């Protein structure tokens, strides 16, 4: 595909390429980036179309870099390292730090929940971002529903924002409504606790976004 020097690839395309090169798998790259397999695959196709050459050989076990892909990965690794080393010069210090914890409900019950009162009494207000797809790695629909229900019950009154991310039963991330998370039950339970915050999603491709938007609008 012909392109001019001022037509730069989006950063997310190179991030998808870097993740796939490091993991040797589009599925593993999707897991690392909190995207779907399809979104990563489309980013790689965009990159190969832009370059006019293949950067990966596809096989049953995953993907391997071509010679051209290896050369590109050397360059992108250098570029990302340079950005990382110098990023502290570009970012202003912030007064409020955000710590995100993801744990299975049993760990929350045994360790986190007994400490909730102390956290609440801290001068820094406790706010929870609840992501149902990060509460389990592999589960069927009934197991996922039970895990998410327990998490909502234990965090009642402290959830400031909910993520609309899904998982397939085998552990791969999915767009909301395509996996084993029962979002009707999840949203209903959140509302029963008094939750009135936003339900957000991210990491969608242009093709996935309209369908997910319709699905989430139906929930709200």
DSSP, res 172: -
Do 53 and 115 belong to one domain? no
For residues 190-211, give the mean pLDDT: 84
Do 133 and 59 belong to one domain? no
CA distances from 128 to 99, 108, 113, 162 (A): 10, 13, 12, 8
- For residue 5, name the pLDDT band (cuts at 50, 70, 90): very low
Do 115 and 211 belong to one domain? yes
pLDDT at 140: 93
pLDDT digits (tens, 9 = 90+) for 69-126: 988 988 888 777 666 655 554 454 455 555 555 555 566 556 666 666 666 565 555 6
Single out the residue in 89, 115, 132 at which a domain terminates: 89
pLDDT digits (tens, 9 = 90+) for 39-82: 999 999 999 999 999 999 998 889 999 999 988 988 888 777 66
Do 215 and 110 belong to one domain? yes
pLDDT at 23: 92
* Structure tokens given for 212: 């997910």
Do 136 and 194 belong to one domain? yes
CA distance 84 to 9: 19
pLDDT digits (tens, 9 = 90+) for 7-33: 677 788 999 999 999 899 999 999 989
pLDDT at 198: 83
Domain presence at residue 132:
yes
For residues 198-216, give the mean pLDDT: 82
Domain presence at residue 213:
yes
CA distance 94 to 67: 43
Question: Looking at the 3D structure of the chain, how many domains does it have?
Answer: 2
Share of the chain above pLDDT 90, in %: 34
Do 85 and 111 belong to one domain? no
Domain enclosing residue 156, as ranges: 105-219
Domain presence at residue 16:
yes
Do 83 and 111 belong to one domain? no
Do 178 and 137 belong to one domain? yes
Domain presence at residue 148:
yes
Do 41 and 120 belong to one domain? no
Domain presence at residue 6:
no
CATH code of the domain covering residue 24: 1.10.10.10
Kindly report the average pLDDT of the chain as a whole number: 80
CA 140 to chain centre: 20
Yes or no: say if 43 and 62 are a contact pair by the CB < 8 Å rule.
Answer: no
Do 41 and 111 belong to one domain? no
Do 184 and 117 belong to one domain? yes
């Amino acid at each position: 595909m012909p392109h001019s020097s001022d037509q730069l690839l989006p950063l997310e395309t190179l991030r998808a390429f870097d993740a796939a090169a490091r993991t040797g798998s589009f599925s593993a790259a999707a897991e690392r980036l909190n995207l779907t397999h399809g979104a990563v695959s489309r980013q790689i196709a965009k990159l190969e179309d832009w370059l006019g050459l293949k950067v990966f050989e596809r096989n049953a076990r995953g993907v391997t870099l071509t010679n051209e892909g290896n050369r590109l990965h050397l360059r992108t690794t250098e570029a990302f390292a340079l950005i990382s080393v110098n990023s502290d010069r570009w970012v202003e210090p912030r007064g409020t730090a955000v710590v995100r914890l993801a744990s299975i409900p049993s760990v929350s019950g045994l360790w986190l929940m007994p400490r909730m009162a102390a956290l609440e009494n801290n001068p820094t207000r406790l706010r929870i971002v609840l992501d149902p797809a990060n509460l389990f790695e592999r589960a069927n629909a009934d197991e996922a529903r039970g895990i998410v229900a327990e998490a909502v019950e234990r965090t009642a009154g402290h959830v400031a924002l909910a993520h609309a991310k899904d998982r397939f039963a085998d552990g791969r991330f999915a767009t909301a409504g395509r996996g084993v998370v029962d979002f009707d039950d999840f949203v209903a339970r959140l509302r029963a606790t008094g939750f009135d915050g936003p339900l957000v999603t991210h990491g969608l491709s242009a093709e996935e976004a309209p369908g997910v938007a319709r699905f989430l609008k139906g929930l709200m």
